[in-house]
Chain A
């Protein structure tokens, strides 16, 4: 029998159920998070147009660099101001 020490952080991730997908964009406030990849704005511009056509309103956000997690304040801002969020790569 061998006893070893756990090399991991020993954390158990908390998992949560996703909210049900909304059936309509009516009244929804959609956050579009630009991760600062080149030309990501072109993609998000088009998304914004499509969402507006379907009755949703959009708030645009941008994080400083695509290589780092979004700052805590930005995440908080999105969570408190919006009901939906779309984050995407632009590669």
Chain B
């Protein structure tokens, strides 16, 4: 048994970034755990003095709370899960010695290249075997250093260094074997990959070299870029400044159960965030791991790219999703979006993430059939990563600061892309001020989707009437202005607007016009319904259901189905949450 987490001194400030990112509003740095004298706690979820706390969980083994651990690289011989285990097997088969672990810091030092010619080969490669007999001939006339990746006895007839841990290959970016490099004063001057008779003759100065060989033959993949090995090598050699505490589960522990026990999951299993996986995740962004993206509510913790990457791994993201996760969190952790309030409200809302731009399609986001449903990795895991980050880093957990009466299934993940290609409207992100063609995410504090059916409308006016009467009922037909809505038009409905030449603006204007009601119908008591607007509004001739920018129109869904969907929002404006749209940066 061991102690729980050790607090890490925080020395980072909000890191400046050269790129023009939308400014998140820095929230005051306060000790959220500080309590005033004799505070009476009535509702911890909405108390200003309540502090969310981790529930301590005993674990069988947890090593090295030492802060110097941050500078160590992972020991491949001690990692035994998934691909890393496979990678270790490969390394061992390749001659990697299990006791040859690296315990020092940062990027390992690149092995120097010897002056003269350097060639990197592996026995498994047919091109290497073809060129192997030439190496002795070359060595007879010029300085040649041979590095072999797999078999230390290959090639025969010439001494070779065994690049057993692939350090030389990794550091010198060997992607293909054979690679022939000319080195002058320790610096690479020229290289050729595979077998090119002309290149080899020029670099060796031997005119008749390889006369019997073909003019050219491509090489093979270097072991240092083998997909089964590369993650372990990156973790070992790249020296990215990973600072998260290493948690080591005992051999007898099921890591999946251990992560459940620690309260790290959303109720579904998560992918173990091994150092290898996190390093691979970090390749998805150009941002440094220690960059502070935002202050994560409710605990107002500095949220680093690294912590987001850890949670993105757990959510099941691919590295190319990471910029979208970061952007969504940047947007959600603003005073405007008010993630704190979205968590602590009793309404069942969560961050709904709408993705725009060519990058959304490039990473395989679904904007079509079953767009709000299961089955698409990007949709499922980007939203999940956002929620896991808020849970694990920010401390926003159900039953603690999250006080939702019902919640909604979208609080696991609610993320989709707009179908821009098939849309008669300008993209949502463009309407919200982002340049066309730029990747962007919009976060909206929303509940679950509700289907609007109209299979008979054939004109925009008829369809507007149906949409309006449905929208009027949002949350309550007699409540107005306080809530925004995302209205997602499916292609079959959108076609009706497209054929009539209706733009986004015209459609929105018609919707706003059609969702107005006289005050007499909206006030408390009207229609025998207690809920409603104040009596003082009885004589108001027309009350808008939505504020002027309160309908967010998006185009998405499968190609068949005369449906639209509305996603109701939480309290809007300064009282609650406003949607936030930000650019996605790689």
Chain A residues within CB distance 8 Å of chain B: 1-16, 18-19, 21-22, 33, 35-36, 63-72, 75, 78-79, 83-89, 91
Expressed in whole angstroms, the minimum distance between the Cβ of B545 and any Cβ of chain A is 20
Q: Which residues on the B side are within 8 Å of A35 (C-beta)?
A: 46, 48
Q: Which residues on the A side are within 8 Å of B38 (C-beta)?
A: 18-19, 21-22, 83-85
Q: Which residues on the A side are within 8 Å of B43 (C-beta)?
A: 88-89
In the complex, B348 has a CB within 8 A of chain A: no
Chain B residues within CB distance 8 Å of chain A: 4-8, 28, 30-40, 42-43, 46-49, 51-54, 74, 78-81, 242, 244-251, 253, 255, 259, 264, 272-275, 278, 296, 298-299, 301, 307, 310-311, 314, 335, 338, 340-341, 344-346, 388, 392-395, 571, 574-577
With both beta carbons as reference points, the residue of chain B lying nearest to A63 in the complex is identified as B48
Q: A2-B80, A4-B272, A9-B393 are in contact. List 12 more A-B contacts (CB 8 A).
A: A2-B79, A5-B246, A6-B245, A9-B307, A9-B392, A35-B48, A68-B340, A71-B28, A72-B30, A75-B49, A78-B36, A87-B42
With both beta carbons as reference points, the residue of chain B lying nearest to A3 in the complex is identified as B248
Given A1-B249, A3-B78, A19-B37, does the pair A10, B274 have CB atoms closer than 8 Å?
no
Q: Which residues on the A side are within 8 Å of B272 (C-beta)?
A: 2, 4
With both beta carbons as reference points, the residue of chain B lying nearest to A22 in the complex is identified as B38
Q: Complex Cα distance A21/B524, Å?
A: 42
Expressed in whole angstroms, the minimum distance between the Cβ of B92 and any Cβ of chain A is 16
Q: Complex Cα distance A21/B38, Å?
A: 7
- CB-defined A-B contacts under 8 Å, sample of 29: A1-B250, A2-B249, A2-B253, A4-B249, A5-B245, A5-B273, A5-B278, A6-B244, A7-B311, A8-B264, A9-B296, A10-B245, A12-B4, A13-B51, A16-B34, A16-B35, A18-B38, A19-B38, A33-B48, A65-B575, A65-B576, A66-B46, A67-B571, A67-B575, A78-B36, A85-B37, A87-B40, A87-B49, A88-B40
With both beta carbons as reference points, the residue of chain A lying nearest to B576 in the complex is identified as A67
With both beta carbons as reference points, the residue of chain B lying nearest to A84 in the complex is identified as B38
Q: Complex Cα distance A11/B272, Å?
A: 21
Cβ B31 vs Cβ A14 within 8 A: yes
Given A4-B272, A5-B242, A68-B340, does the pair A10, B7 have CB atoms closer than 8 Å?
yes
Contact of B314 among A7, A11, A16, A91 (CB under 8 A): A7
Expressed in whole angstroms, the minimum distance between the Cβ of A77 and any Cβ of chain B is 11
Cβ A10 vs Cβ B255 within 8 A: no
